[in-house]
Amino acid sequence: MLSTIFREYDIRGIFEKELNEKTVKLIGYFLGKRVREIGEYVAIGYDARTHSPLLFGYLASGFNKAGVKVLNMGMVPTPVNYFSNYCDFDGIVPNASVMITGSHNPPEYNGFKITIDKKPFFSDDIYALGREVLANKDMHIEDNEEHITIDVKSRYISYMLRSFSHLKGLNAKIAADCGNGVAGIVLEDIFKGLNLDYKGLFCEPDGTFPNHHPDPSEEKNLKSVKEALKTADIGFAYDGDADRIAVLTKKHNFKGDQLAILFARQMKNPVVVGEVKCSQVMYDEINKIGRAVMWKTGHSNLKVKMKEIDADLAAEVSGHIFFADRYYGFDDAIYATLRVLELIKNGMDLDKEIEKLPKVYNTEEIKIKTDEDKKFKIIARLKEFLKNPPADFPKIKDIIDVDGVRVIFENGWGLVRASNTTPVLVMRFEAQSPEDARLYQEKLTELVEKAREEM
């Protein structure tokens, strides 16, 4: 039983080695005690991984021991799990939900994404839960998988068909790569119900992911959808639990911050939250028509910030898109798909809109391995160095430290932050020229290495 499974945004680990019967039952029990403070029902769903149903049984046993009634929605995408929090099942309203998913991790991984009282359960709450579980590791919890079966999937599909009925018969050829995750079990019914012209790729759930890994942020996983785009107009790809999206045309692979610009242009006075990794172009463009707010990376952080400032939209570069405009404010790749198709229906040429944006040069995420106990110390030391940088360091205009360090230079920016989920430092750079981008990367990396050497 390891404390490392209790992460910033969720609980995640290797099945049997870390997420085993004893651990998961205890998680269910002590999480159940928190749910009992506000109610008595928890809705649980799971992804396509082969061990997800087993984890459901362990988790249900823990909740039942705590006196919480389990609502079983079966295999669903994560957004459908979130959606359950807004449903009434013949007078039964969930007080919490747990999604059993390993998301885009390898097949041996699994985990839990938790919502209590419609709010993400994360950070200090998860760490406190972990301490309680570890302190009671000898507690015995008997098997008890008693549950009430609920059908959230049909309600979700019906909601989407009603909300996007205006898309019926859209004149566009669509390719959708579900990567053998769970997106397909709702996406195909929605596309068919809207009479859309689509080709589905790997829509059958298979937790061994036989065709490619379900992580659309990796270019190597987009080969099939790119091939399909030879005859399609628009392509979509999803991660394993369908809360992240990739949108592609023959010309472009649209990142989450680029999509945010396009969506915001369809809103009146939009308020948009972006993570620290988002392009400055996104912030500048949205500030022309509304207000853009930079905040911490992480789906839980963004959901909380959205609610705090009553934002319409939030986005992460990796493809988490959150709509409060006409929706509930959680990250949903299926819903985002339909909003993209709506842009097309409204006459937007996605390629032309992106090509009109200011040209910048940016890097992909650069990851530097370090030790878990050193990563935040390195960031703290880096901040000290930046107060009095070397003579040859590029001129600093500003430093934003909401999440790590985002250094604003004259012609771009560089970011260094500690990952909240893995022992790595994450770096990203953007500039108006490739030469400046390389310079900022070289000089900021030198300071990071100096800070690492002192640890």
pLDDT in tens, 419-450: 987 889 999 999 999 999 999 999 999 999 99
DSSP letters spanning 119-158:
EE--THHHHHHHHHHHHTTT---------EE--HHHHHHH
* Residue 46 pLDDT greater than 70, yes or no: yes
* 3-150 shares its CATH topology with 361-453: no
Q: What is the pLDDT of residue 105?
A: 86
Q: Which amino acid is at 171?
A: N
Q: Which residues of 150-177 are buried (b: 16+ CB within 10 A; e: fewer)?
A: bebbebbbebbbeebeebeebeebbbbb
pTM value > 0.85: yes
* Residue 182 pLDDT greater than 80, yes or no: yes
pLDDT band with cut points at 50, 70 and 90 for residue 8 = confident
Mean local confidence (pLDDT), 372-381: 94
Mean of all residue pLDDT scores within the chain: 96
Mean local confidence (pLDDT), 146-156: 98
Q: Which residues are catalytic?
A: 12, 103, 320
Q: Which amino acid is at 127?
A: Y
Give the CA dihedral 433, 438, 439, 440, nearest 10 degrees: 90
For residue 304, how many other CB atoms are within 10 A of its CB?
A: 18
Q: What is the pLDDT of residue 422?
A: 82
- Specify burial of residue 371 (Cβ count, 10 A radius: 0-12, 13-18, 19+): exposed
Mean local confidence (pLDDT), 389-395: 97
* Residue 300 near residue 122 (C-beta atoms within 8 A): yes
Protein fold of 361-453 = TATA-Binding Protein (3.30.310)
Report percent pLDDT > 70 for the chain. 100
Class level of CATH domain 3-150: alpha beta
Q: What is the pLDDT of residue 421?
A: 79
| Homologous superfamily of the 154-355 domain (CATH) | Alpha-D-Glucose-1,6-Bisphosphate, subunit A, domain 3 (3.40.120.10)
Domain segments of the chain as ranges: 3-150, 154-355, 361-453
Name the helix (H) or strand (E) containing 99: strand 96-100
Q: State how far Cα 58 lies from the chain centre.
A: 25
Name the residue among 167, 162, 199, 196 with its Cα closest to residue 184: 199
pLDDT digits (tens, 9 = 90+) for 61-105: 999 999 999 999 999 999 999 999 999 999 999 999 999 999 988
* Residue 372 pLDDT greater than 90, yes or no: no
Q: Which two tokens stand for residue 18?
A: 């870390």
Distance of alpha carbon 167 from alpha carbon 188, whole angstroms: 15
Q: What is the pLDDT of residue 2?
A: 72
Q: What is the pLDDT of residue 1?
A: 58
* Residue 256 near residue 264 (C-beta atoms within 8 A): no
pLDDT digits (tens, 9 = 90+) for 185-221: 999 999 999 999 999 999 999 999 999 999 999 999 9
Name the residue among 42, 31, 39 with its Cα closest to residue 6: 31
Q: What is the pLDDT of residue 3?
A: 78
pLDDT band with cut points at 50, 70 and 90 for residue 133 = very high
